[in-house]
Chain A
Amino acid sequence: MRGRKKVRATGRRAYSDSSGAVKPKHENVIRASDLGTDTEIKADVCVIGTGAGGAPVAKELAEGGMRVVMLEEGDYFTTDDMSARHADMIISLYRELGQVATVGKPLILLPLGRAVGGTTIINSGTCFRTPASLFDSWRRKFGISDIDSDVMGPFFRRVERELNVTQTPADIAGKNSTVIKRGADKLGLSGDYIYRNVRGCIGSGVCTAGCPTSAKQHTAATYVPKAWDAGAITYTGCLARHIVVDRGRARAVVADAGGARLTVRAENVIVSAGTVHSPVLLKRNGIGYQSGQLGQNLSVHPAMAMRALFDEEINMHEGVPQSYYIDEYASEGIMFEGAAIPPGLAAAPLPYFGVRHRALMEHFPNLSQFGIMVSDTSRGHVRDIRGNPLIRYDLNERDLATFKKALTILTEIYWAAGAKAVYTGLPSVPELRAGEMAPLLDLDLKAEDLILTAFHPLGTCRMGTSWHNSVVDQSLNVHGVEGLYVSDGSVVPSSLGVNPQMTIMALATRLAYHLLSKRPPTDEPEPESMPDPIVRPV
């Protein structure tokens, strides 16, 4: 019937259906080291990076008729390379084997991907749109008025359709989520099963080691092969070093290509090297520094997990690792999300060592783990030290207090769920028994007591209204350089309070439409449902 809006299913059947998986006609991948000699090629667009920021814009531009070259520092891995062993895959897929860390109080590990697909290949596949309330905050605080929920809606719908963003069904979510939901429901806390970019997920439990069933719809399984089918080429093992700017316009990218040099002559260059590396690349080339914001404004969503011991078997390595969230306190900057892991990773964050630790590991089947993510008000920066990033970040008192509150709440959730013991992750209060709260409540928590990880670095090439206050404008164009854009988490001007990959991909898609002078898509189906937590305003 004319005028009826198309609706895209987001329920169980859509989650489990693998039939729409992308199978490229050919893999347009060239290992840069195979070039052997200095090489110069021409393109319409050079995209540096193939993660959440680079791959969507590359695909849209290639399908729009542009000649697209993608440069990727890491290697190309297929599903056949995934071993379901975290210890192995950390060596293959993670930048610096997961050893990237911030300097500050406390030290924070920052796991980043380094492969075709970027961090999307190692993330948990959690999907949230930019919370609608945050656009209002950005308008008030940063003057960003060109984007809001209505403007971004068509791009979110397009990304969600491309990646089949659907809700985790309860029966694949895993027992780890069951026990948390039980506790949350008992306390009347708002939450739901997580929406994820998957086709045919069966809950293999190893998302962060690379999906072995080709279910996770990361960019190397979706946007990149579609870009190839539209004629784009990806060079791997290729480190972009120099952005040639001439007469105020980007003209070329020069990259290290395994001993040789690869020059891509293109009048449109899109930097998608990620929040940590994009500002370093720009700084090294003397670009984007005028506002003083380049490398500044780093937010990371600091996170930690707690564990609990139950009488019942949980077997948290079975099922979707990150399948449930609790957003009751999102407006206070606290998001709880599932963080189940297999034993190879579960050992390290447990307290103790030696015989006492081994006794805990012998109860691995009865252990649960759940995560705390704080929408940080702390801000750090990334400095360029001879082409390498130094990441400085200190947790401020406000975020520290937020962590203390979150630890208390999650402990209460675990007691409500029936846990026998809770392992806080704090060296000073490693274990709580039988409903205990006092040792945690009485703790004078210090930043250095926390053992944190962070998965969502944002903000270091932030978007804004003028070169006085930002690195890129609202079209992601680097101020003062025609044809040069940044498309990755570094443009997001504040902590989001939710996982950022949808925001990054939707902004990337919008950039592509802008470069193609195309109107936003009008025929993308509306999802049956999509979460919209109320997060803390900026």
Chain B
Amino acid sequence: MNYDSLSNSEVAVFTALVESICAPEPVYPPVSQTAAVDYFDRYLQASPAINRLGFKLILHIVEYAPLVVRPGRRFSRLEPIKRVDFILRWSESRLRPLRVVFELMKGIVFMAYYGDDSVLKACGYDPDANIERARTLRRKEGRP
């Protein structure tokens, strides 16, 4: 699939991050069945250019860091348990900037995954029902 901002390798890294950070399992749908990557692509496209570059740089660092920090494979090709181990070490880094970057990336990953309609509904929130209720009310009462 073609994305406006994300290359294929960046998609692979982001997908791997979502799988590791969100750990979807029934009740929650797998990442491939959500619009999480689409959302991140839209998010990047709308971001200021320097921020977009920053996020892409983070993805590339995440992808290649396991080769440097602990010889092995690229992040997206690691076994799931080794990805989790890498993320855990990142989140507990003694270097504050790395921890800050982790929190920012984690926030976006969670927003992309848990902002997906099917995941929202699995959590008990139906945005379509909310909008439908609102529209009915606006029609009934003649609200702007």
Contact = CB atoms under 8 A, between A and B. Distances in A.
Interface residues of B, number: 47
Main secondary structure of the interface of A (DSSP, over half): loop
Given A91-B42, A348-B106, A358 B123 contact: no
B144 A79 contact: yes
A353 B85 CA distance: 11
A204 interface: yes
Nearest to A85: B127
B21 interface: yes
A84 B135 CA distance: 12
B130 A205 contact: yes
Contact of B91 (A19, A85, A204, A353): A353
Contacts of B27: 362
Instruction: Bin chain A's interface residue count.
Output: 35 or more
A96 B124 CA distance: 29
Interface string A333-347: 000000000111111
A343 B114 contact: yes
Contacts of A19: 141
Contact of B114 (A22, A205, A347, A451): A347
A91 B96 CA distance: 28
Contacts of B113: 347
A18 B141 contact: yes
A418 interface: no
B131 A212 contact: yes
A315 B124 contact: yes
B91 A343 contact: no
Interface of B is mostly: helix
A213 B124 contact: no
A87 B112 contact: yes
Interface string B1-33: 000000000000000000011111101100000
Given A91-B46, A451-B103, A345 B137 contact: no
Interface centre among A22, A78, A85, A346 (most CB of B within 10 A): A85
A97 B5 CA distance: 16
B116 to A, nearest CB: 8
A107 interface: yes
B46 A84 contact: no
A413 to B, nearest CB: 25
B126 to A, nearest CB: 9
A357 B22 contact: yes
A200 B120 contact: no
Given A84-B134, A87-B115, A353-B21, A99 B48 contact: yes
Contact of B143 (A21, A347, A358): A21
B134 A354 contact: no
Interface in B100-129: 100, 103, 106-107, 110-115, 117, 119-120, 123-125, 127
Contacts of B47: 96-97, 99
Given A91-B46, A97-B47, A354 B138 contact: no
Nearest to B51: A99
A221 B107 CA distance: 31
B87 interface: yes
A213 B111 contact: no
Contacts of B48: 96, 99
Contact of A214 (B20, B23, B144): B144
A83 interface: yes
Interface in A377-418: none
Contacts of A448: 96
Contacts of B103: 451
Interface string A83-113: 1111110110000110100000001000000
A354 B84 contact: yes
Contacts of A362: 27
B51 A353 contact: no
Given A87-B111, A96-B48, A364-B123, A221 B96 contact: no
Contacts of A147: none
Interface in B59-78: none
Interface of B: 20-25, 27-28, 39, 42-43, 46-48, 51, 84, 87, 91, 96, 99-100, 103, 106-107, 110-115, 117, 119-120, 123-125, 127, 130-131, 133-135, 137-138, 141, 143-144
Which 3 residue pairs spanning A and B have beta carbons closest together?
A87-B115, A343-B123, A347-B110
29 contacts: A18-B143, A82-B134, A84-B130, A87-B39, A87-B111, A87-B112, A88-B115, A91-B42, A91-B43, A96-B47, A96-B51, A99-B48, A99-B51, A107-B100, A212-B130, A212-B134, A212-B135, A213-B138, A213-B143, A214-B143, A343-B114, A343-B119, A347-B22, A347-B110, A347-B114, A348-B106, A353-B22, A353-B87, A358-B22
